[in-house]
Amino acid sequence: MADTPMVSLTIEGRQVQVPAGTSILEAAKVAGVLVPHYCYHPGLPVAGVCRMCLVEVEKSPKLAPACATSVAEGQIVHVHSEASLKARQGVLELLLINHPLDCPICDQSGECELQDYTFREGRAEGRLGPDPKRFNPVEDFGGDVLYVPNRCILCTRCVRFMDDVVHDPVLNVSERGDRALIGKFEGQDLTHEWAPNVVDLCPVGALLSKDFLNKARAWELDRTPSICPNCTQGCNAIFETRDNVVVRMRPRSNADVNQWYLCESGRLDYKWLSPATRIEAPLVRHGDKLSAVDWESAIRAAATTLGGARVVALVSPMLSNESLHLAARVVAKTGGTGVFRVRTGPEAPLEGVPDLALRTERAANVKGAELLGFTKSASPLDTLASGDVLLVIGETLTAADAPALARAGKVIVIGTSLPDEARGATVALPSSTMAEEEGTFTNLRGRVQRYMQATAAPGMTRPAWWILADLLTQLGEPTATFLASEVFAALAASHPAFAGMSYDTLGLKGQIMSGEPAAQEAAR
Amino acid sequence: MGYPHKSHPKETPILSKYFGEPQARTLEGWKQRGGYRALQQALGMTPADIVNVVKESGLRGRGGAGFPTGMKWSFMKPGDGKAHYLCVNADESEPGTFKDREIMRWTPHALIEGTAIGAYAIGAETAYIYIRGEFTEPLRIMEDAVKEAYAAGLLGANAMGSGKRIDVHVHRGAGAYICGEETALMNSLEGRRGNPRIKPPFPAVAGLFGLPTTINNVETLAAVPHILNNGAAWYKAMSLSSPKSTGSKLFSVCGNVTRPGNYEVTMGYPFKDFLYDMCGGPLPGRKFKAVIPGGSSVPIQSMEEAESTLMDYEGFVAKGTMLGSGGVIVFDDSQCMVRHIARLARFYAHESCAQCTQCREGTAWTTKIMERIEAGQGTFQDFETLLEIGDNMTGKTICVLSDSCAVPVVSGLQKFRHEFEAHITGKRCPFRTAAAA
Amino acid sequence: MSAQREGASQADPLSHASRGNVGEIPYEPVFVGAMRDELNALLGRYPNKMAALLPALWMVQRERGWVSEEAMVEVAQLLELTPAYVKGVVTFYTMYHQHPVGRYFIQVCTTSPCLACGADKVVESLLSQTGCGDLGATSPDGRFTVIEVECLGACGFATPIMVNEEFIESVTPEKVPQILTRFK
């Protein structure tokens, strides 16, 4: 980096200095100026086909495509001069020639870049007159993707993405002229794990997610920064909610983790974040029945249950660092053991991005669980001896767990639901899903990342860390933590891997733990 | 020569001297006519010297751009350790142009010789002759001639015993006008869609397969052996008007004219004389109305402009158009200009590669409006729309196909507005009532 | 751009039952024996396999009269490209037929220079004389298909037509019946 010469230029009256070889479009970002564009994307090879980014460069006879033109010393660039505005208005008008007036029924409406720029800079009226628009029927591209050719502006982001980032060139541009459309080959579909990113990349409503089809309007959605919880990669995500239900997961860019992408398995597995059936009040067994009680009574009952027997804590690797930290302290306090299991699946890398894959371990915080002293095992409940107390925290119980549950002397469940297998539990404490709380995960590379609360926790449910803090206090180890950040601070103070970290230092991009290879690389 | 007609005495038959003589096709026949002496001479010169001779001669690209050939060749840096390529642009698809096919089917060895000299001059060991897919006869004849040349040791690992390798391959296109654009030609050769590339990088830096490449037109390369045989001064002296336009040029004449065909004249020849005398003037009972002198992508000329034009690069520019490819399309008073402009718009819309928004949508929209006007369903508002679309399509795209579509529309509205207006006011094409069309 | 196909994330399309074929006739590969030798010789002209794509497609059309989807798969496999990529190229170039056409495929230039010389009358004459009736339709006896094409580069020899690989110049409506008798 040290040897790259710098170039100074002026963009919209602002002076900037950027490394030689930077495009005018990227230099404009540095200057805080957005050059409107469609086909350009920082993760894709430059195409220069949409022609939206034409800017005026003084002393140049023609307008220059900002995405495909390198900066030159002393250039004076105008993005909003009359010539540039006219050229952009021309592009917008021509894009709308064959583009149907689908806004009322198009999923993209409200987050459509064609709408956005047309509203800002386009013509107020169309003048196509009686001339007909071209028509092609909707196509199923396979996987989660639908293609609506009529809306396509031929920016070719999807084709370049599949070619150069996914390395699975199943999309092409077919035909010529205004008959052109995106095509594929019969029998070869967008079934690649990373293919649905074309839906995000598409600036308009030409590529749509079948999962999201007609589900919600973009302006009805609230958006919260979060982390995809479905594997150990820790891709940064945005949880989009409507009426307090997560309806979509979109990628949030992080150059060090997932660039601009989310895999299909991860992004489509969000329904469990808003479970339909769940327990919403603490339950305590009285005789052969479970009754709803207040939190204090429930905590007392749980603490009593934990006393005097061997405790096996089965935690979920989906729990936050905060919850796992307090869970570990509960385990230590009771002199028990902590175990966890994790569902696995095949790894699916995104070839064109370094170190990005759908990971085999399909939970967000395996590393956190390991660091905090929990033992990973394929059948962790084998260690449960007859009469032991089983403390389940966040882990989903299934019919396969029935023998272990039967062996256990007593069962305490902290979770969102109480399955039939666990109806014999002594105490059931309702916890929130990760969408209903804030916290942190540690990804497989030791990056600690924050996620924010996207939905309100229903009924009397509480984050697991809050339940565990109260439990710990009841067990004789008072914790004066009332916020997730305070729990994290306690964790950072007591565990060397997390030393020096706080919610402030983590920000929204995360931080690599000291001692991890990546941190050493960054420090160099 | 005015092939298929007899040579006109005022022609300068150099490239076209043997059009119509089947014997000139064979290697033997070509050698008898002086062939391959220039290549022999060239292989004994340094590439730099050959480049200088061509520079000195003033030869300019005959495909349409008119870029000085010697200068283009000098962009190829010798001794860079990379493979260099020469691509011969035989994609001839510009409406009105049909000269390269004649060069290839009558004097294939002229092209091979020029190609070999060009390849050697730019440090290329491999040359591809990209011939449009429809040219089945030139394809066959060029393949046969290349085989002959290899068999005689003129091409190959040891071209004419010089120790230099010169390989020439014929490559068939598959129906795309845009592949005549030099960067689209390279993409097509590489087995891709014929999409033009953004420049920079320029072909001489990163072209075919990412390596330094020069692309030359057939007629340009066919002139090279003559320049080497007769000297740069000889070629430069052939100039009747502007000193920046030297040598002879094959003009393809077509449309409503008595003797359509290819005519070779010295640069600067008077256009009026050319049209009325050399080409035989209009058909009986007809008058010339309009002419497009350089292939459909150059502005339409009124006869008043045409009749005072001198036929060279500067001369055509001075009279509101360009020399382009030299494809002279003549329209007489029986033809409807609106109909032809609509048809040309349809041509460009069909050939657009679809990359740039302005071209992809603009060519199609222009065609729709033009066809509506032709059918008598246009409005005066459409004129303004056409001109604005034309302005949007000019100077804003990766290649100039977009600009080319706007040209006939803009120049047509400029010079034949009355015909457009007649379609609006009369609500029909005034020419369609005529019995003969 | 990388057109290389990595991994076998897609099912083998050649095993896909009779798509694009007439009836249940299994696909016969084109590039066997002498054709394979010819392709190999062709590959020697270029520094990579992708550059042989257009020539390979011409070989397919020469043999079969058109380029089927199975043929696209075969070519893709031989040249280490994906079928989607090959299809994108095939659909760009107008001369590759993507479905069977009449035994004699007639292309008529109707761009302005030829139009000014009566190309539209030649088209009319051909459509009626062949029995095709409409552009793009195959005649009832399966012999002819007639289409309009853009400039064929023989403007001074108006109106040029192509019948398969044969280029015929200076066609007029009067000459059409005579010309057609050559194509049985």
What pairs with residue A76 in β-bridges? A10
A84 and A140 together in one domain = no
Q: How far apart are CA B139 and CA B172, in angstroms?
A: 8
| Residue that finishes a domain, picked among C66, C90, C114 | C90
Determine, for residues C3 and A191 on separate chains, whether the beta-carbon distance falls below 8 Å.
no
| Chain A environment of C13 (Cβ under 8 Å) | 185-188
| Residue that finishes a domain, picked among B207, B236, B265 | B236
- What secondary structure does DSSP assign to C85-135, as a single string? HHHHHHHHSTTS-SS---SEEEEEE-SHHHHTTTHHHHHHHHHHHHT--ST
B261 Cβ under 8 Å from any chain C Cβ: yes
Q: How far apart are CA B161 and CA B259, in angstroms?
A: 45
B403 and B343 together in one domain = yes
B361 and B295 together in one domain = no
Share of chain B above pLDDT 90, in %: 97
Nearest to B364 by CA among A154, A49, A178, A153: A178
**3-state SS record for B180-198:** HCHHHHHHHHCCCCCCCCC
B231 and B276 together in one domain = no
The DSSP code for B8 is P
Q: How far apart are CA A179 and CA B352, in angstroms?
A: 10
Average pLDDT over residues A511-524: 70
Q: How far apart are CA B184 and CA B16, in angstroms?
A: 29
Read off the pLDDT band of A519 (50, 70, 90). Answer: low
Tokens, residue A23: 């495009």
Read off the pLDDT band of C52 (50, 70, 90). Answer: very high
Q: Give the CATH number for residue A372.
A: 3.40.50.740
Nearest to A352 by CA among A44, A59, A4: A44
Identify whether B272 is part of a domain: yes
| Residue that finishes a domain, picked among A169, A193, A220 | A220
Average pLDDT over residues A152-171: 97
Q: How far apart are CA B367 and CA B371, in angstroms?
A: 6
Tokens, residue A392: 């389940």
ipTM given for this complex: 0.94
A345 and A491 together in one domain = yes
A243 Cβ under 8 Å from any chain B Cβ: no
Q: In whole angstroms, what separates CA C128 from the centre of its chain?
A: 23
A299 and A419 together in one domain = yes
pLDDT of the residue at B1: 58
Identify whether A425 is part of a domain: yes
Q: Give the CATH number for residue B123.
A: 3.40.50.11540
A339 and A483 together in one domain = yes
Nearest to A77 by CA among A21, A29, A116: A29
- Residue pair B182/B164 in contact (Cβ under 8 Å)? The answer is no
Give Cβ neighbours of residue B22 (< 8 Å, ≥ 6 apart).
none
B88 and B201 together in one domain = yes
| Residue that finishes a domain, picked among B332, B360, B389 | B332
Nearest to A382 by CA among A415, A418, A407, A411: A407
- Local structure of A11: helix, strand or coil: strand
Determine, for residues B191 and C58 on separate chains, whether the beta-carbon distance falls below 8 Å.
no
Scanning every residue of chain C, which has its alpha carbon at the shortest distance from the alpha carbon of B334? C116
| Residue that finishes a domain, picked among C56, C90, C124 | C90
Identify whether B4 is part of a domain: no
A445 and A326 together in one domain = yes
pLDDT digits (tens, 9 = 90+) for B63-115: 999 999 999 999 999 999 999 999 999 999 999 999 999 999 999 999 999 99
Identify whether C97 is part of a domain: no
Q: Which of A47, A130, A177 sits opposite B363 (nearest CB)?
A: A177
B281 and B382 together in one domain = no
| Chain B environment of C50 (Cβ under 8 Å) | 190-192
Query: Is residue A1 pLDDT above 90, yes or no?
Result: no
- Residue pair C98/C118 in contact (Cβ under 8 Å)? The answer is no
Q: How far apart are CA A201 and CA A261, in angstroms?
A: 9
What type of residue sits at position C22?
V
Nearest to B311 by CA among B376, B261, B264: B264
Identify whether B241 is part of a domain: no
A153 and A74 together in one domain = no
C8 and C77 together in one domain = yes
The DSSP code for B154 is S
Read off the pLDDT band of C19 (50, 70, 90). Answer: very low
Expressed as residue numbers, the domain containing C63 is: 3-90
Identify whether B10 is part of a domain: no
| Chain C environment of B84 (Cβ under 8 Å) | none
Query: B47-57 burial string, b = 16+ CB within 10 Å, else e?
Result: beebbbbbbbb
A505 and A413 together in one domain = yes
Average pLDDT over residues A277-282: 94
Q: Give the CATH number for residue A196.
A: 3.30.70.20
Q: How far apart are CA B326 and CA B3, in angstroms?
A: 15
| Residue that finishes a domain, picked among A41, A62, A92 | A92
pLDDT digits (tens, 9 = 90+) for A220-260: 999 999 999 999 999 999 999 999 999 999 999 999 999 99
- Alpha-helix residue ranges (DSSP H) falling in A147-218: 157-160, 197-201
Average pLDDT over residues B371-391: 96
pLDDT digits (tens, 9 = 90+) for B165-179: 999 999 999 999 999
Read off the pLDDT band of C63 (50, 70, 90). Answer: very high
A401 and A517 together in one domain = yes
Determine, for residues A169 and C5 on separate chains, whether the beta-carbon distance falls below 8 Å.
yes
pLDDT digits (tens, 9 = 90+) for A164-192: 999 999 999 999 999 999 999 999 999 99
Identify whether B365 is part of a domain: yes
Identify whether B9 is part of a domain: no
Tokens, residue C99: 């479905």
- What secondary structure does DSSP assign to A256-290, as a single string? TTTBT---HHHHH--GGGS-SS---S-EEEETTEE
Tokens, residue B47: 């590439």
Total domain count for chain B?
3
Q: What are chain C's partners, defined as 3 or more CB pairs within 8 angstroms? A: A, B
B255 and B288 together in one domain = yes
pLDDT digits (tens, 9 = 90+) for C109-160: 999 999 999 999 999 999 999 999 999 999 999 999 999 999 999 999 999 9
Residue A291 half-sphere exposure toward CB, CA atoms < 13 A: 7
Expressed as residue numbers, the domain containing B343 is: 337-436
Identify whether B286 is part of a domain: yes
Nearest to B50 by CA among B155, B129, B128, B123: B123
Q: How far apart are CA C126 and CA A397, in angstroms?
A: 77
Total domain count for chain A?
3
pLDDT of the residue at C20: 46
Identify whether A275 is part of a domain: no
Total domain count for chain C?
2
Count how many pairs of residues, chain A against chain B, have C-beta atoms within 8 Å: 95
- Residue pair A18/A7 in contact (Cβ under 8 Å)? The answer is yes
pLDDT of the residue at C13: 42
Read off the pLDDT band of C2 (50, 70, 90). Answer: very low
Determine, for residues B172 and C153 on separate chains, whether the beta-carbon distance falls below 8 Å.
no
- Residue pair B29/B23 in contact (Cβ under 8 Å)? The answer is yes
Q: Give the CATH number for residue C111.
A: 3.40.30.10
Q: How far apart are CA C51 and CA A484, in angstroms?
A: 60
Residue A395 phi/psi, 5-degree rounding, is: -85, 140
Q: How many residues does chain A have?
A: 524
Residue A417's Cβ-count burial label (10 Å; 0-12, 13-18, 19+) is middle
Q: Give the CATH number for residue A23.
A: 3.10.20.740
Expressed as residue numbers, the domain containing A11 is: 6-92
Q: How far apart are CA A91 and CA B357, in angstroms?
A: 6
Give contacts of A 179-208 with B, CB under 8 A. 179-180
| Residue that finishes a domain, picked among B202, B236, B270 | B236
B389 and B304 together in one domain = no
Scanning every residue of chain A, which has its alpha carbon at the shortest distance from the alpha carbon of C81? A169
Identify whether A258 is part of a domain: no
B267 and B411 together in one domain = no
B256 Cβ under 8 Å from any chain C Cβ: yes
C contact test, residue of A147, A168, A351 with most C CBs within 10 A: A168
- Residue pair B431/B339 in contact (Cβ under 8 Å)? The answer is yes
Q: How far apart are CA B131 and CA B99, in angstroms?
A: 13
B181 and B104 together in one domain = yes
A159 Cβ under 8 Å from any chain B Cβ: no
- Residue pair B341/B412 in contact (Cβ under 8 Å)? The answer is yes
Average pLDDT over residues B209-236: 98
B350 and B303 together in one domain = no
Identify whether A267 is part of a domain: no
| Residue that finishes a domain, picked among A176, A200, A220 | A220
| Chain A environment of C10 (Cβ under 8 Å) | 170, 187-189, 191
Determine, for residues A173 and C1 on separate chains, whether the beta-carbon distance falls below 8 Å.
no
pLDDT digits (tens, 9 = 90+) for B124-181: 999 999 999 999 999 999 999 999 999 999 999 999 999 999 999 999 999 999 999 9
Identify whether C96 is part of a domain: no
Q: In whole angstroms, what separates CA A399 from the centre of its chain?
A: 31
Average pLDDT over residues B309-337: 97
Q: Give the CATH number for residue B396.
A: 1.20.1440.230
Average pLDDT over residues A23-28: 98
Give contacts of C 19-38 with A, CB under 8 A. 19
B174 Cβ under 8 Å from any chain C Cβ: yes
pLDDT digits (tens, 9 = 90+) for A323-338: 999 999 999 999 999 9
Residue A114's CB is within 10 A of a number of other CB atoms, namely 22
A336 and A454 together in one domain = yes
Q: How far apart are CA B87 and CA A193, in angstroms?
A: 42
Place of tokens 């860390």: A465
Tokens, residue B142: 């060029």
Scanning every residue of chain C, which has its alpha carbon at the shortest distance from the alpha carbon of B259? C156
A315 and A415 together in one domain = yes
Strands A357-358 and A348-349: antiparallel
Identify whether B29 is part of a domain: no
A176 and A294 together in one domain = no
Kindly report each contact of residues B24-28 with a partner whose C-beta sits within 8 Å and lies 24 or more positions away, as own/partner.
B24/B106, B24/B107, B25/B105, B25/B106, B25/B107, B25/B108, B25/B109, B25/B141, B25/B145, B26/B148, B27/B109, B27/B145, B27/B148, B27/B149, B27/B152, B27/B154
- Residue pair B32/B275 in contact (Cβ under 8 Å)? The answer is no
Distance from CA of B393 to the nearest CA of A (A): 8
